[in-house]
Amino acid sequence: MTVTQTETVTAKKCAVFLDGEFAFVLYKGELRKYGIKEEEELPPDVYAEIMHVLLPHRARLRCMNLLQARPYTRKQLLDKLRQGRYPESVMENALAYVESFGYLDDAAYARSYVEDHLETRSLRRIEEDLARRGVDRETIRQAVEEVQEQEGEQNEERMIRRLLERRNYDPSEADYKEKQRMQAFLYRKGFSPEKIRQAMDC
């Protein structure tokens, strides 16, 4: 394998291209450590160390540090690693590592998300939010069913009225502009126009 290009990514990092194809990103100090220079051969043992030791260790640490701050779905964590331009095999290795310890679990993430938002957002909005985070539809469905079995089914009209009360909305005093603003707010929460109209007495 020939190092055909090294491209500065940040003040401290460079992208390395092998045989004309992007391979990985290293710190500039690592380029010096491994003797990586343009138009020179990259020894197989050096390539193996970078791909199977250095980068997997770095990607695992990146995942662990992110997960210490807050929960992530698999897709969200994969997106974070892609921002760091890790090779696909390295990213999959890192995700498998954190999954093996139970630190990454889309089903648990979905259940927790449903529990946290069941009283403030419509099911449609919750499902859309989870889908955008990369949770598959079947996992979302199971999470909703499990939470509703424990906490009861969602009552959208009651939720809407509670939100209106919190915002001190009075239908007898609200003008057209205020009603429109409130309807838009509730629609963004994922409630259906019919339920919104019923709850607002429009």
Pairing state between β 21-27 and 3-8: unpaired
pLDDT at 126: 92
Q: Cα dihedral angle (39, 44, 49, 51), rounded to 10 degrees? A: 80
Mean predicted lDDT score pLDDT of the chain = 90
The pLDDT tens digits of the residues spanning 44-78 come to 999 999 999 999 999 999 999 999 999 999 999 99
CATH 1.10.3470 fits 3-100, yes or no: no
For the ranges 17-26, 104-113, 172-181, the lowest mean pLDDT is seen at: 172-181
Tell me the pLDDT band of 132, cut-offs 50, 70 and 90. Answer: very high
* Closest listed residue to residue 16, CA positions, set 37, 33, 32: 37
Residue 37 has pLDDT above 80, yes or no: yes
Amino acid at 153: E
pLDDT at 71: 95
Tell me the pLDDT band of 202, cut-offs 50, 70 and 90. Answer: low
pLDDT at 160: 79
pLDDT at 17: 98
Tell me the pLDDT band of 120, cut-offs 50, 70 and 90. Answer: confident
The pLDDT tens digits of the residues spanning 138-189 come to 999 999 999 988 766 666 777 777 788 888 888 777 788 888 888 888 888 7
CB-based burial of residue 99 (10 Å sphere; 0-12 exposed, 13-18 middle, 19+ buried)? middle
Residue 92 has pLDDT above 70, yes or no: yes
Domains of the chain, by residue range, sit at 3-100, 106-151, 156-200
pLDDT at 158: 75
pLDDT at 166: 80
* Closest listed residue to residue 46, CA positions, set 56, 59, 61, 36: 36
